[in-house]
């Protein structure tokens, strides 16, 4: 006799990873009435809240204040004799902000119909998970599973942090003192932000980047402007330079460098390894689920975030692309839509990015270099911060906004360097995401004086170019 009994799962949806992608997915799933489990092996909020975006931005704000008081206050008429600061208090304050936000997140999740497990999840099959919660083994069955385990720092074999003089970003966020000199190995997001941080507190900073340029994914003109600003700050930058070896003594480290010109040996107090991130898939026992990964360890998904296994999805850093918290959050929301609508195909969405050094950098869409490689028609317009009333009033005149458009004045990319530009990029993203013509920007009243007028003026320039061509 045929058994028609429906197999009942413990959960409609189980999410592995409680970072921005995971907890957004859990909230959305619960909101739609799905019985939901959220599994996090460490702290809710993931890397961004606990060891990344939030604590680092708090430290960077303190660095900005230190920079202002040390280098710009006198010009404004403020004179400080024997200026000093309590760096331990600065670090402790950043932790308070993290604690406050974590408490808010925990409170929010507790109000939802979500079962939260604090433990390490691994696959027993495509529908079954084992959770190691403080030594207690818990097995749950799930109709759908979302992998949102994020990423972790990547370290080359010859460059491993030891928590003493060779350090990683976690050390920076928790250290209660400052070195006299530091070597930052890697010129990406993290390396650039920490270079600004240390420099603002008077630390001698050297950046070593193995590729041709720091921030190799950013428009060349923006990088040139940042390089100029960093050089003025006394930051030394080596590009196309490899670290051969790091020798550590009780009092310092000696870094051996190799580039096309020569070999160098330089002594520093600390070396910060900031060489990128890799997908966090260890200990998941993916082989038991059948989920495929690529050669770099990223989980393969289609446009609906579905893996090669019908009921298993993946979002966030673990699938590659831009490793940004807001990208993961957006995917956390969209993946639930995909689960609820089996035929749903994820629409394209545009992800802006910001780098919180000073001057700030923000960008969205393609660079001019990419436009050239694509061999497409494009126009470029630039507008300087020094021509903006708000920037002049704030004495932050370094930088510019750069727009790239097609022949019909649709924005292909926007690249900005200047203080406050992280607050400008959303309007541009809105225009691009909704395929609005630049005329819509021009016809919108922008308050004066504000930084938003920079985008308005750049848009006017590019439309005028089109009219006169």
Q: Which residues are catalytic?
A: 448
Q: What is the mean pLDDT of residues 228-238?
A: 97
Q: 275 pLDDT band (50/70/90 cuts)?
A: very high
Q: Which two tokens stand for residue 264?
A: 């160098």
User: How far, in Å, CA of 124 to CA of 450, rounded?
Assistant: 56
Task: Tell me the whole-structure pTM to 2 decimals.
Answer: 0.93
Backbone angles phi, psi at 146, to 5 degrees: -115, 125
CB 272 within 8 A of CB 169: yes
CB 248 within 8 A of CB 164: yes
Q: Which CATH architecture has domain 11-52+92-153+278-340?
A: 3-Layer(bba) Sandwich (3.50)
303-323 pLDDT tens trace: 999 999 999 999 999 999 999
Mean pLDDT of the chain: 92
Nearest to 236 by CA among 264, 275, 276: 264
162-189 pLDDT tens trace: 988 999 999 999 999 999 999 999 999 9
CA distances from 26 to 29, 61, 121, 319 (A): 5, 32, 16, 18
User: How far, in Å, CA of 324 to CA of 217, rounded?
Assistant: 14
CA distances from 129 to 15, 137, 172, 286, 288 (A): 10, 10, 35, 11, 10
CATH 3.50.50.60 domain span(s) along the chain? 11-52+92-153+278-340, 166-275
Question: Residue 23: its pLDDT value, please?
Answer: 97
Q: What is the mean pLDDT of residues 132-143?
A: 93
Q: Which two tokens stand for residue 318?
A: 């673990």
Q: What is the mean pLDDT of residues 42-62?
A: 91
Question: Residue 90: its pLDDT value, please?
Answer: 94
Q: How many CA atoms lie within 13 A of 3 on its CB side?
A: 3
Nearest to 176 by CA among 249, 253, 241, 94: 94
Provide the sign of the torsion angle of the four alpha carbons 424, 427, 431, 437, taken in this order: negative
Q: What is the mean pLDDT of residues 188-196?
A: 97
The pLDDT > 70 percentage for the chain reads: 96
Q: What is the mean pLDDT of residues 325-339?
A: 95
340-370 pLDDT tens trace: 987 666 667 899 999 999 999 999 999 999 9
7-41 pLDDT tens trace: 468 999 999 999 999 999 999 999 999 999 999 99
**Model confidence at 1: pLDDT above 50:** no
CATH 3.30.390.30 domain span(s) along the chain? 359-468
Q: Which homologous superfamily is 359-468 in?
A: FAD/NAD-linked reductase, C-terminal dimerisation domain (3.30.390.30)
Q: Which homologous superfamily is 166-275 in?
A: FAD/NAD(P)-binding domain (3.50.50.60)
């Amino acid at each position: 006799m045929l058994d028609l009994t429906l197999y009942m799962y413990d959960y409609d949806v189980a999410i592995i990873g409680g970072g921005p992608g995971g907890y957004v997915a859990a909230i959305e799933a619960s909101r739609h009435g799905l019985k939901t489990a959220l599994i996090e092996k460490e702290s809710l909020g993931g890397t961004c809240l606990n060891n990344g975006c939030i604590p680092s931005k708090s430290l960077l704000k303190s660095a900005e204040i230190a920079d202002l008081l040390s280098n710009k206050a006198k010009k404004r008429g403020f004179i400080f004799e024997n200026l000093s600061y309590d760096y331990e208090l600065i670090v402790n304050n950043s932790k308070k902000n993290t604690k406050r936000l974590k408490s808010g997140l925990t409170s929010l999740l507790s109000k939802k119909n979500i079962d939260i497990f604090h433990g390490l999840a691994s696959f027993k099959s495509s529908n079954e998970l084992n959770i190691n919660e403080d030594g207690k083994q818990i097995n749950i069955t799930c109709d759908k599973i979302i992998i949102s385990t994020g990423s972790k720092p990547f370290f080359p074999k010859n460059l491993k942090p030891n928590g003493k003089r060779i350090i990683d970003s976690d050390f920076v966020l928790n250290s209660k003192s400052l070195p006299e000199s530091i070597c930052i190995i890697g010129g990406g997001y993290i390396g650039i932000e920490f270079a600004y941080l240390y420099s603002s507190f008077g630390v001698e900073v050297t950046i070593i980047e193995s590729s041709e340029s720091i921030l190799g994914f950013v428009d060349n003109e923006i990088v040139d402007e940042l390089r100029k600003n960093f050089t003025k700050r006394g930051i030394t930058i080596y590009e196309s330079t490899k670290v051969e070896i790091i020798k550590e003594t009780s009092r310092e480290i000696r870094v051996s460098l190799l580039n096309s010109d020569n070999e160098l040996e330089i002594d520093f107090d600390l070396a910060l390894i900031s060489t990128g991130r890799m997908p966090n898939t260890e200990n998941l026992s993916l082989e038991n689920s059948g989920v495929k990964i690529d050669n770099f360890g990223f989980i393969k998904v289609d446009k609906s975030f579905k893996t090669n296994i019908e009921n298993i999805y993946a979002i966030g850093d673990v699938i590659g692309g831009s490793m940004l918290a807001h990208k993961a959050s957006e995917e956390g929301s969209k993946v639930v839509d995909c689960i609820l609508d089996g035929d749903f195909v994820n629409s394209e969405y545009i992800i802006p990015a910001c780098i919180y050094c000073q001057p700030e950098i923000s960008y969205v869409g393609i660079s001019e270099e990419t436009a050239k490689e694509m061999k497409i028609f494009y126009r470029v317009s630039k507008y300087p911060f020094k021509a903006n009333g708000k920037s002049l009033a704030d004495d932050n005149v370094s930088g510019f906004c750069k727009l790239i458009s097609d022949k019909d004045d649709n924005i292909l990319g926007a690249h900005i360097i200047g203080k406050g530009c992280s607050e400008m990029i959303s309007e541009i993203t809105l225009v691009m995401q909704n395929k609005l013509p630049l005329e819509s920007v021009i016809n919108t009243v922008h308050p004066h004086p504000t930084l938003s007028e920079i985008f308005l003026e750049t848009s006017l320039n590019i439309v005028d170019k089109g009219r006169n061509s």
